[in-house]
Structure 1
Amino acid sequence: MADMFLEKFRSLVPKYLDDQWNEADGLNGEELRDALAQSKVSIPFVLEEFYLALGNNEDFMEAYHYFFDPEELEIEDGHLLFLEDEEEKFVWAFKASQLDVPDPIVYRRNNAKGTWTSEEGTFSEFTLDMFAWVFDELAAELED
């Protein structure tokens, strides 16, 4: 499958960090394969390209919310968990039945209630919107 999201994710480095993307920002293919072998899960294409673009960049992997490293991915409650907020109140995931969709819809679980809610957007939409919000918040804090 051709790169569908890779360049879009790579473009976030110059957009938000005022730096050029370089190979050290992402995982290489072998690192990703080895990590996924440890977690024993398959992932959607979009998440694979996210890790290849930004999987080593802490500014994105730990930007207010924490993306799970590929070896930490797990299926729980019928969902592949990939992101958690810093207070561990919420976790974001894909339905395990949708992992073959290139860019699946994201769901959020309220950890206290155990309820799942659709974010009504795909991973690429959700992630790009989340980073816009995070980095706009950071910029606003720096201005204060």
Structure 2
Amino acid sequence: MSDIFVEKFRGLVPLYLEEPWQEADGIDRDDLAAIIDELGITVPQALREFLHALGNCEEIMEAYYYFWDPEELEIEDGYLLFLEDEDEAYTWGMRADQADVPDPIVWRRNNATGAWINEEGTFSEFVFDMLDWVFNDDEDD
């Protein structure tokens, strides 16, 4: 399967951190595949490519919200969980039964109620929009 998102995700480093993307910012493709295989879950292509491109870039992986390390990915309530806020009030995921979709829709769970809400965007759209909000929010003030 050819890469669809890797270069766009790598482009986030120079865009927001004003430095060139480096190989150390990502996770080696074979190492990532081994981790996911060990978990025994299916991970959509967009999330795999995001982790491959940026999985070791703390400035992006922990920018306001916390993207989970590959070892932490899990399926709960029928959703593949990948992100949470610092207060652990919300968790983001994608439906596990859509893991074969290259860029599935993102859902947000209110951890107090367990209710899931459709974020109305794919994983890649969600990532680009969220990081734009995080890194450009100060400019709007």
**Fold match by TM threshold 0.5:** yes
Structure 1 segments of 4+ aligned residues over 3 angstroms from their partners: none
1: CA distance, partners of 2:40 / 2:61: 21
SS in 2 for 1:20: coil
2: CA distance, partners of 1:37 / 1:24: 22
Q: Is residue 2:119 matched to residue 1:122?
A: no
Structure 1: gaps (5+ residues)? none
Structure 2: gaps (5+ residues)? none
Deviation at residue 21 of structure 1 after TM alignment: 0.4
Match for 1:13: what amino acid?
V
1: CA distance, partners of 2:105 / 2:51: 18
Provide Cα deviations, 1:90-123, integer angstroms capped at 9, x if missing partner. 0000101100000000000000010000000000
Provide Cα deviations, 1:32-65, integer angstroms capped at 9, x if missing partner. 0222133221200000100111000001111111
TM-score norm. by structure 2 comes to 0.95
Contact 1:68–1:83, Cα closer than 8 Å, also in 2 = yes
Q: How many residues align?
A: 141
| Structure 1 residue aligned with 2:86 | 86
TM-score norm. by structure 1 comes to 0.93
* Same amino acid, percent of matched pairs: 58
Q: Is residue 2:75 matched to residue 1:75?
A: yes
2: CA distance, partners of 1:134 / 1:71: 25
| Structure 2 residue aligned with 1:18 | 18
RMSD between aligned alpha carbons? 1.4
